[in-house]
Amino acid sequence: MYRIFVWGVNFKTAPVEDRERLACSRDDAYYLLPPLKTIKGIKELILLSTCNRVEVYGVAESYEAINNLVLELIQLKGADPQIRRNSFFLEGEKAIAHVFKVASGLESMVVGEPQIVSQFKEAYRIAKEVGCTGKILNRLYEKALRTAKRVRTETGISKNAISVSYVAVELAKRIFGNLAHIKVLLVGAGEMAELCAKYLRKLKAHLFITNRTYQRAVELAKELEGHVLRFEELKDHLKDFDIVIVSTGSKSYVIDYDTVKRAIRKRDYKPLFFIDISVPRNIDPKVAQIDEVFLYDIDDLQGVAEKNLRERIREKEKGEIIVWDEVDKFLKWLELLKVEDLILRIKEEWKKEEEESPMVRRLIHRAIEEIRKEPSLAEKLVKIFLQEVEDANTRRRLSHVHN
């Protein structure tokens, strides 16, 4: 039977430096999945990449196939093979449970954050679109979403669920206290940036938005009663802001060391705070070396998240009970999937005898019913079936002799 597996890096196993080396944009997923799927022994594949994780969910024939897949992914991303030291591997029920926990927000840095559901759906949609999913991962995806819905509705975890964007704003509040008179620049207008903007708007911060696509910045600024800064003017006006929150899909630094050095000088060394929630990072880490400049990246948000985790640990435990209930159901389905092939083989191999002998037909029907009831006993039940058929044939031969 094929192996269900998970391989990857996440905020628990690897620092942001490693995660950003493997980080994949939507275009990357379209480019990477097809060649990875052609690796001998790889049957199904989904690639999930968020700010906190890069994980492969797959179905494979062997460990060799999985190892080849990992090596190929690392090579295609141009990363050092040593990155595997900070990776993790799960198979079977542990892999299934991990996928269900990820989809439910139980494995997120901020436990219960809702954004992961849309990211999970997007990863599946792309994999399915390029022909990388099949019967097993399609079912796994459906059950993961069912588990996520149960966790949200049957526990109190979603009542206190907050996103990484919210944690970023909480960090800004720790730094400045009241944000009502603070000038904040939001670089990027994607989903995470939009969440940041909504939180900041509630706190009455003076909000400015810049984005490579000017129209998108205009739309978001209008919605949130903020102001727009043209992206090409970013470097000239960086000095005007107290807090800069960066969340874009850029693969290179949007803000570099020299730009910040000039900005802080023009501010007469008045403190400037950067929060970079992009992966790959969009602010050169060297910026943190500049006097009166404070830079926080996605890993720095973990401290804030851990406090929230302690407050919601009881709800997380309830969620994990639901996860394992759904894992048990999925494992039963997998057992049935195994025996369906066996049942088809029995029907095909005994087709002629079934047509000729009502007794064999009854035995086949009974064997199939018993196998479906108890998939784990399939092998033993087949042996019993074969013995009963042999006994029936012996009795039939003896009956012919006596007659």
Domain boundaries, the chain: 3-161, 164-303, 330-360
Residues 261, 193, 297, 119, CA torsion sign: negative
Query: What's the pLDDT band for 45 if we cut at 50, 70, 90?
Result: very high
Residues 381, 384, 390, 392, CA torsion sign: negative
pLDDT value, residue 401: 47
Query: What's the pLDDT band for 34 if we cut at 50, 70, 90?
Result: very high
Closest C-alpha among 258, 128, 248, 141 to residue 196: 248
Beta bridge partners of 296: 275
Is 132's pLDDT higher than 80?
A: yes
List pLDDT tens digits, range 324-364: 999 998 988 887 777 666 666 666 666 666 566 676 667 66
pLDDT value, residue 378: 62
Query: What's the pLDDT band for 165 if we cut at 50, 70, 90?
Result: confident
Largest CA distance in the chain: 114
- Predicted TM-score of the model (pTM): 0.68
Chain position carrying tokens 């992009």: 278
Is 271's pLDDT higher than 80?
A: yes
The catalytic position among 24, 51, 132, 196 is 51
List pLDDT tens digits, range 78-102: 999 999 999 999 999 999 999 999 9
Q: Which fold has domain 164-303?
A: Rossmann fold (3.40.50)
Q: Which fold has domain 3-161?
A: Beta Polymerase; domain 2 (3.30.460)
Q: Which of 138-152, 166-180, 287-301, 387-401 has the highest mean pLDDT?
A: 138-152
Closest C-alpha among 190, 232, 231, 186 to residue 209: 186
Q: Cα torsion for 132, 137, 138, 139, to the nearest 10°?
A: 170
Per the annotation, the verdict on 51 as an active-site residue is: yes
> Looking at residues 107-112, what average pLDDT do you find?
81
Q: How far apart are CA 4 and CA 289, in angstroms?
A: 45
pLDDT value, residue 160: 55
What residues contact residue 361 under an 8 Å CB cut-off, 6+ apart? 354, 355
List pLDDT tens digits, range 213-256: 889 889 888 888 889 999 999 999 999 999 898 988 888 899 99
For residues 257 and 345, which has the higher predicted lDDT (pLDDT)?
A: 257
> CA 325 → CA 93, 258, 318, 332, distances in Å?
11, 54, 11, 11
